[in-house]
Structure 1
Amino acid sequence: MGIKYGGFGIVSQLVILLLSIAVAVYGDLPPKIFDVTKYGAVANGKTDASQAFLRAWRDACRYYGRSRVWIPKGTYFVGSVTFEGPCNGPIAFLIKGTLKAPTNPQHFLTDTWIGFRYVDSLTVKGGGYLDGQGASAWKFNNCHTNPQCRTLPATLRFDFLTNSKLSHIRSINSKNTHINIFACNFMEISNMRITAPSNSPNTDGIRIGSSNQISISDSVIQTGDDCIAMVSGSQNINITGVACGPGHGISVGSLGRNHEHEYVMNINIRNCTFFASDNGVRIKTWAPSLTSLASNITFQDIQMINVRNPIIIDQQYCPYSTCLEAESAVQIENVLFKNIWGTSSTKVALNMQCSGALPCKNVNLININLAYRGRRGHALALCSHVLGSTSGQQNPPGCL
């Protein structure tokens, strides 16, 4: 038996000491750089760099310590790639150049252009561009009329990440969603610029599902669909300093189509501006729908500039001609609209159409000032099946 000291063996204490020293040493070392051009990537915009990127990631992920996959300035053609962990230390993916997606329809059969999976402490940044070359694919997107439509590739897909960051990247012309976040925890997104034409189908800026503790800040999103969409399982989401428009606004939902128990809770949208978007702040649920819940949602300190539907709750959402007449089974409760001002491009500036089977509960309107600048009179508010209260200024006059 070994000599004991303070309840621990000497050998055990030495192991702990050596591990502590190793952590301290590795923590002070500069990150190791893995340059994709050293792995065969050619910045001519034509040669497929996919395998070079994957080889650089493989070595960086295996490295014990901080590592960086480095993509220098230049234009790189990249096919569908997914970078998987777990990795042996914190890893950064630094994009300085421009990445271009395929335009051949044979490459549209996957739901991912660039993906990251099962990684802890990932950082993606660098000031570079992700060009999805979406115009080559948008004609294949008929999801508004076809429930069985093809799923086109998302530009960036993050699955099962923890403690990660995305910042200072410009995503342009995605084929589908620009950034898709699924089953991620503790993720920060900031200083992004996301753009696609207003008529580009299903080009959500950021789509979040089954994720917890996600923050989005200080970004500009101009797309053909939702600037930000929070679908089933989105919880503890904080959005601040986002400029949205054109696009379909910042949406909670649509909810209730496929998931019954993945509730949406604790959503905070503050200090945002909407420019000529179809919608401003929106909650939407399918009808008919599965049973679900959307609760504790705050929209506060928001400016609307010529927005078509500044404030909207839609519990009759169904974009297909084959929809059945039914009430939504999604309960919406504890919703706050506070300090929302600006102009509406339509006469109905506030429209809350809740479920007759499950009326919206505890909806509060505080200091709403939305003006209609058209020739048909003043702005109107329409409400159905809404239980709540109003206080402060109410323009249009509240309908609660």
Structure 2
Amino acid sequence: MASFLSFVVLAGGLFFLSLHMFAVSAQFYVESSSPAKKIFNVLSSGANPDGKTDNSEAFKKAFYAACQWINLKGQNVVLIPSGNFMVNHVSFVGPCKSPIVFSLQGVLKAPSNPALFFSDTWIGFRYINGLVIEGGGTIDGQGAFAWPYNDCKRNPKCKTLPASLRFDFVNNGKLQNLRSINSKNVHLTLFACHNFDITNVKLTAPNDSPNTDGIKIGASTNIKISHSIIGTGDDCIAMISGSENIDIFDVLCGPGHGISIGSLGNNIEKEFVKGINVRNCTFISTQNGVRIKTRPSSFPSFVSNVSFSGITMKDVNNPLIIDQQYSPNAEWFYQEKLNAGGVMINNVKFEDIRGTSTSEIAIKLHCSAEFPCQNVKLGNINLAYTGSTRNIKQTTSSCVNVKGQPFGRIQPPGCL
């Protein structure tokens, strides 16, 4: 394909731009909105916003053009303008020669054809430093077409449905001003990411949609999640092994299963979660509030330095939980002596938590007999009962194999 020259009228003047050819063998119109910004519009690479055409290749062409453009002064912007863009499974892989911004202003729609459902990722980003995703647009996982195919509770060999957005080995990233609806599986997954900021996002799926976690974090450090609304059919935020230095604040969670650490202890390799700070968050009509969950008869692992503070609960079924008998395919159950578990839980604080519980036991701290929970602190708790059982007047607490101390006022009365 022959190279060509494009003339663009800007600010009343005619500027001459040289367009580069890349290995993807396509032409790109590069719009310059400022000296520090190069814009790569997916429409110029052949994208069609009709909601039906598969735009995966057009999106990849725009990305790789931006990824290879050397911008010494600023960022390269992949622009997805207004319109409905259908995209099949697609991955954007670096490293890139300049920082990349995805400006999503339109709507991205996932496939509705069952033959295209099964994969671990719908839209993926890998090995990119300095990635920003913004623009106020929406990604629609069209999960209602796929949820009937989720049979994992009864089929151990079930096929994987895709996460809507997956970030692997993305450093110094930012995701802001974005909406994700009806994911087939998890909305956002972070793996091996470092220094990543998620703010002002809205993630929603029906309460009965299976495994539609809002954000799942693993093997990642220095992650911040703030000023966001998450309402799904599973955990609003889940932190699994390798999550370290995670700061979560000003998040509205509901419906869903709350904000969880774990589950841990299911793998032979030693797992860990540490340095977790959940503060100034609100839970509305969730199955759980703040939770640490580990598997029974666990392999050696640990959870340490966790703080839940400034939390508001409104009609939450299980506001405060440490559950070392967690099984994803069975109901939580109580027993005087728990099975042996190898996950050590140390230095956990629940502080300034108030609101209402729909269950009688508002505080459940059930730890392993072999490795009791250490240095657990409960303080300034006020959780009233709003369930439907008439003879219950107030909430209670239940602690098993927990060592720690209470402080301040606690309602229900503490069990430490």
Common fold, TM-score beyond 0.5? Answer: yes
Aligned equivalent of 1:63, options 59, 65, 69: 69
Q: Which amino acid aligns with 1:29?
A: P
Per-residue displacement from partner, 1:236-295 (whole Å, max 9, x unpaired)?
A: 000000000000000001111126333100000000000000000000001121110000
SS of equivalent to 1:88: coil
Residues 174-189 of structure 1: matches in 2 within 5 Å?
Answer: 174-189=183-198
Matched residues in 2 for 1:175 and 1:345: separation? 29
Aligned equivalent of 1:355, options 368, 373, 382: 368
Query: Structure 1 residues 259 and 295, CA, compared in 2 at 3 Å: closer, same or farther?
Result: farther
Per-residue displacement from partner, 1:114-163 (whole Å, max 9, x unpaired)?
A: 00000000001110000000011111112233333221000000000100
1:378 aligns with 2:407: no
Matched residues in 2 for 1:267 and 1:260: separation? 21
Per-residue displacement from partner, 1:95-127 (whole Å, max 9, x unpaired)?
A: 000000001111122110000000000001110
Instruction: Assess if the C-alpha contact under 8 Å between 1:124 and 1:166 holds in 2.
Output: yes
Matched residues in 1 for 2:415 and 2:342: separation? 23
1:77 aligns with 2:83: no
1:388 paired residue number: 404
1:239 aligns with 2:245: no
1:30 paired residue number: 36
2:342 paired residue number: 329
2:150 paired residue number: 141
1:219 aligns with 2:262: no
Bigger Cα displacement from structure 2, 366-375 vs 53-62: 366-375
Instruction: Assess if the C-alpha contact under 8 Å between 1:146 and 1:320 holds in 2.
Output: no
SS of equivalent to 2:328: coil
Shift of 1:319: 2.7
Aligned equivalent of 1:39, options 31, 34, 45: 45
Instruction: Assess if the C-alpha contact under 8 Å between 2:205 and 2:212 holds in 1.
Output: yes
1:106 paired residue number: 115
Q: Which amino acid aligns with 2:200?
A: N
For the aligned residue pairs, the C-alpha RMSD in angstroms reads 1.4
Instruction: Assess if the C-alpha contact under 8 Å between 1:316 and 1:327 holds in 2.
Output: no
SS of equivalent to 2:161: coil
Query: Structure 1 residues 259 and 297, CA, compared in 2 at 3 Å: closer, same or farther?
Result: farther
1:338 aligns with 2:351: yes
- Structure 1 residue runs of 4+, over 6 Å off? none
1:96 aligns with 2:105: yes
Aligned equivalent of 2:264, options 255, 271, 283: 255
Q: Which amino acid aligns with 2:149?
A: F
SS of equivalent to 1:37: helix
Instruction: Assess if the C-alpha contact under 8 Å between 1:92 and 1:122 holds in 2.
Output: yes
1:368 aligns with 2:381: yes
Instruction: Assess if the C-alpha contact under 8 Å between 2:271 and 2:300 holds in 1.
Output: no
Matched residues in 2 for 1:365 and 1:300: separation? 10
SS of equivalent to 1:55: helix
Q: Which amino acid aligns with 1:394?
A: I
Matched residues in 1 for 2:125 and 2:283: separation? 30
Per-residue displacement from partner, 1:22-76 (whole Å, max 9, x unpaired)?
A: xxxxxx9321000000001011100111100000001000011120000000000
1:398 paired residue number: 414
1:165 aligns with 2:174: yes
Matched residues in 1 for 2:144 and 2:185: separation? 10
TM-score, length basis structure 1: 0.91
Shift of 1:320: 3.5
Where does the alignment leave 5 or more consecutive residues of structure 1 unmatched? 1-27
Aligned equivalent of 1:48, options 40, 49, 54: 54
2:134 paired residue number: 125
Matched residues in 2 for 1:146 and 1:361: separation? 37
Bigger Cα displacement from structure 2, 376-385 vs 53-62: 376-385
1:274 aligns with 2:258: no
Where does the alignment leave 5 or more consecutive residues of structure 2 unmatched? 1-33, 333-337
Bigger Cα displacement from structure 2, 240-249 vs 146-155: 146-155
Which has the larger helix fraction? 1
Per-residue displacement from partner, 1:171-198 (whole Å, max 9, x unpaired)?
A: 0000000000000000000000000000
Matched residues in 2 for 1:34 and 1:210: separation? 32
2:15 paired residue number: none
SS of equivalent to 2:148: helix
Shift of 1:310: 0.4
Instruction: Assess if the C-alpha contact under 8 Å between 2:121 and 2:163 holds in 1.
Output: yes
